[in-house]
């Protein structure tokens, strides 16, 4: 099967293999490739350092493990109340070497700006047909050996009383764990849960999910999701 990645050198196992690959390149006499390879690694590390620095300047701390060792997972991001969540997510992804993409409506990927959304890790999906979204995303998980997406289950930046459950059905049908990801502007913390698989009891699972996000404040506090437990 094919393997999809936005960055080639962001996983732990790849960094561990750098020494072996560099030795092989030198033995083959490909000095140019050697320098290009190291330059690419340096660029990724520099971007990671810069993103981490910007998060600190913004006042955010990162708690928990983003589960980079798992080949497939789905990041469930709550609360989502502002357009500022997107650059915050990009900084978090870069700082923590998270190999993750996102799903967007297909109209976003048309010219002239479509190439930018794709470069940022976007995948277009037609949401006009009911039920089509879940199965299209499941197909992406089946297509690649390594794949992860981030989904905001509120589905809007406005106030909601209930989360959409598309993410849950994707995780269940694709057989991948969920990593709950809290964007809490109140405590200035970005929190990852331990990976969580769906069970046979969806109601109990949703209670656990809602409990994790309870009390978190978005960039627009009045629009924050506040589950009634």
Give the per-residue pLDDT at 124: 77
The mean-pLDDT minimum among 85-94, 122-131, 161-170, 212-221 falls in 122-131
Give the per-residue pLDDT at 172: 97
pLDDT in tens, 104-151: 777 777 888 778 877 777 777 776 666 688 998 999 999 999 999 999
Q: What is the mean pLDDT of the chain?
A: 83
Q: Residue written as tokens 């810069």?
A: 50
Give the per-residue pLDDT at 128: 64
The mean-pLDDT minimum among 98-112, 192-206, 211-225 falls in 98-112
Per-position b or e across 62-98, b if 16+ CB within 10 A of its CB: beeebbbeeebbbbbbbbbbeeebeebbebbbbbbbb
Q: Residue written as tokens 């978190």?
A: 216
* CA neighbor of 178 nearest in space, from 103, 40, 74, 99: 74
- Residue 189 host element (H or E): strand 189-192
pLDDT in tens, 4-21: 343 333 444 444 444 444
Give the per-residue pLDDT at 21: 42
> Do 191 and 61 form a contact (C-beta atoms < 8 A)?
no
């Amino acid at each position: 099967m094919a393997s999809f990645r936005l960055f080639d050198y962001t996983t732990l196992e790849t960094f561990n293999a750098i020494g072996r690959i560099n030795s092989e390149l030198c033995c083959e006499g490909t000095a140019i490739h050697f320098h290009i390879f190291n330059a690419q690694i340096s660029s990724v590390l520099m971007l990671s350092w810069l993103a981490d620095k910007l998060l600190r300047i913004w006042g955010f701390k990162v708690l928990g493990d983003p589960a980079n060792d798992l080949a497939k997972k789905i990041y469930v991001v709550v609360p989502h109340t502002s357009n500022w969540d997107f650059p915050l997510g990009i900084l978090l992804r870069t700082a923590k070497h998270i190999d993750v993409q996102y799903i967007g409506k297909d109209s976003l990927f048309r010219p002239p700006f479509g190439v930018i959304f794709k470069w940022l890790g976007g995948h277009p999906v037609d949401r006009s047909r009911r039920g089509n979204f879940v199965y299209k995303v499941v197909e992406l998980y089946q297509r690649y050996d390594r794949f992860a997406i981030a989904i905001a289950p509120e589905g809007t930046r406005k106030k909601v009383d209930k989360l959409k459950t598309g993410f849950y059905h994707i995780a269940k049908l694709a057989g991948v764990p969920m990593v709950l990801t809290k964007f809490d502007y109140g405590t200035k913390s970005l929190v990852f849960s331990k990976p969580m698989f769906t069970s046979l009891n969806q109601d109990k699972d949703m209670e656990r999910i809602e409990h994790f996000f309870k009390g978190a404040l978005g960039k627009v506090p009045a629009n924050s999701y506040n589950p009634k437990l």
